[in-house]
Amino acid sequence: MQSLFLADFTVIRPEPGLIFWTTVIFAIFWFLMSKLAFKPIAKALKERENDIQGSLDEAKKAREEMANLKSENEALLAQAQEERSNILKEAKAAKESIINEAKNKAKEEAKKIVTNAKAEIENQKKAAIIDLKNQIGNFALEIAEKVIDRELKSQSEHEQYVNDLVKDLDLN
């Protein structure tokens, strides 16, 4: 059996024919597979890998841009809000100033009116006084007239009469 083992265990013997064919077949296999299959496949895989990486990068960039846009929008909004509040504030101030101005004007006007009225009153008073003076003059004249008319009947009567007249005048 010992010799039989080696006698029949042919797979361990390197056969020149098999070695020759294996060499030829594998060399052609290697060449053809590289040229027709593995190189184009590796290239396509590389391209696809790059494509995917590129797409991912682009997506990332787009996301970043989006985030930028959002923050920009937010800033814009905040700015608008601030502006709005500024405008409101200004409007309020303007309103107040207008009101104040109006009030002041009104006050001034009122003062003017009062002053005018006072002046008028003064004038009227003066006119009245003048009028009164004139009337008093007139009264005096009337009295004088009447006194002159009665012609002095008696001294006492005369005096009595003048006193009556004066009394009458006071009542006015």
Partner 1 sequence: MRNILLIFALIFSTSGMLLAQDHDHADHSDDATHQEESHEAHDDHEHGTAAHDEHSDHAEHGDHEHGHCFCDSGHAEEGFIVSETAFHHIGDANAFHVWGDLYIPLPCILYAPDHGWNVMMASKFDMGGHGNGALAIDRYVIVHGGVMRIEDESFPMGEVAIECIGHEIDEEGSEHPIVGYNGNCYQLESKSTLDQGVFGGGITSYYDFSITKNVFTMLLVFVLLLWMFTSVAKAYKKRRGQAPRGMQGLMEPVILFIQDEVAKPFLGAKYGRYLPFLLSIFFFILGLNLIGQVPFFPGSANVTGNLGVTFVLALFTFFVVNFSGNKHYWEHVFWMPGVPAWVKTILTPVEFLGLFIKPFTLMLRLFANITAGHIVIISFVGLIFIFGNSGESVGGSTVGVLASVPLTMFMMAIELLVAFIQAFVFTLLAASYIGAAIEEPHH
Decide if residue 40 touches partner 1 (CB under 8 A): yes
Decide if residue 19 touches partner 1 (CB under 8 A): yes
d(CA 22, CA 33): 16
CB atoms within 10 A of CB 108: 10
CB of 60 to partner 1, least distance (A): 20
Decide if residue 41 touches partner 1 (CB under 8 A): yes
Q: Rounded to whole angstroms, what are the CA distances from 146 to 56, 58, 135, 136, 152?
A: 130, 126, 16, 15, 11
d(CA 121, CA 129): 12
CB of 67 to partner 1, least distance (A): 28
Decide if residue 37 touches partner 1 (CB under 8 A): yes
CB of 65 to partner 1, least distance (A): 24
Decide if residue 59 touches partner 1 (CB under 8 A): no
The residues that touch partner 1, with contacts defined as CB under 8 A, are: 1, 3-23, 25-30, 32-34, 36-42, 44-45, 47-48, 51
